[in-house]
Amino acid sequence: MNFSDVFKSGFLSNINTFSTLDVLLALGLSFVLGLFIFIIYKKTYQGVMYSDSFGVSLVAMAMITSLVIIAVTSNVVLSLGMVGALSIVRFRTAIKEPMDIAYLFWAIAVGIVLGAGLIPLAVIGSVIIGVIIVLFSTKKIGDTPYILVVNCADKESEDEAVRVIAEYAKKSVLKSKSAGKLGIELTYEIRIKDDNTDFVNTLCGLDGVDNAVLVTYNGEYMS
């Protein structure tokens, strides 16, 4: 059989049979596992602003991907068309949290595996991934970073503020310093001992210190 005979035989138009029960089973399991991913995401979220719509999209992503894989595996021509169609899809929504990317890939992977009929792999893999994420999210890794902003009136109050910061902070790094006619502003990234923030009151009580602001910091956002 040469290449032209392939077209004559109608091989590319053949559709593999699949039962309605298989489709319902794949979509049902993708919904259940997508809901499991959504629950893990909601329980372990540590970002700034939680989005219900993103959680729901994880369930939809698993189901849609499962449906696409079932369609692709049933027809050769359709699979080629899907590749071309999906190649032009562009996602414009910015992913603000690194873990959100992991959840998206998790939902897509579940849909692909279920669409391919590998049910035990999808179930066992999802359970293991979920347990690992929960364990790492509940375990505190390292000290919580903070950003401290102190406004001082003069050099003497600045020196006193730096002394207090060095005394109470486990680690401190000066990020910026700005000086003007109204005073001096210091910005520190600090790690505090036992998450005790009482030293901020001590800073505010110093002569020449106008105010002190302490916020948590994760590298990109403050809360």
Task: Give the number of other CB atoms < 10 A from CB of residue 175.
Answer: 14
From first to last of its 223 residues, the chain has per-residue pLDDT tens of 554 554 444 544 545 566 788 888 888 999 999 999 999 998 888 766 777 788 888 899 899 888 888 877 776 556 655 655 555 556 566 666 778 888 889 998 998 888 888 889 999 999 999 999 988 877 665 567 888 888 888 888 888 888 888 888 888 888 888 888 888 888 888 887 777 777 788 888 888 888 888 887 655 444 4
Give the CATH fold of the 145-216 domain: Alpha-Beta Plaits (3.30.70)
What sign results for the dihedral spanned by CA atoms 151, 153, 158, 160?
negative
Per-domain boundaries in the chain: 3-138, 145-216
In SS3 terms, the chain reads as: CCHHHHHHCCHHHCECCCCHHHHHHHHHHHHHHHHHHHHHHHHHCCCCCCCHHHHHHHHHHHHHHHHHHHHHHHEHHHHHHHHHHHCCCCCCCCCCCHHHHHHHHHHHHHHHHHHCCCHHHHHHHHHHHHHHHHHHHHCCCCCCEEEEEEEECCHHHHHHHHHHHHHHEEEEEEEEEEEECCEEEEEEEEEEHHHCCCHHHHHHCCCCEEEEEEEEECCCCEC
Cut 0.75: pTM above it: no
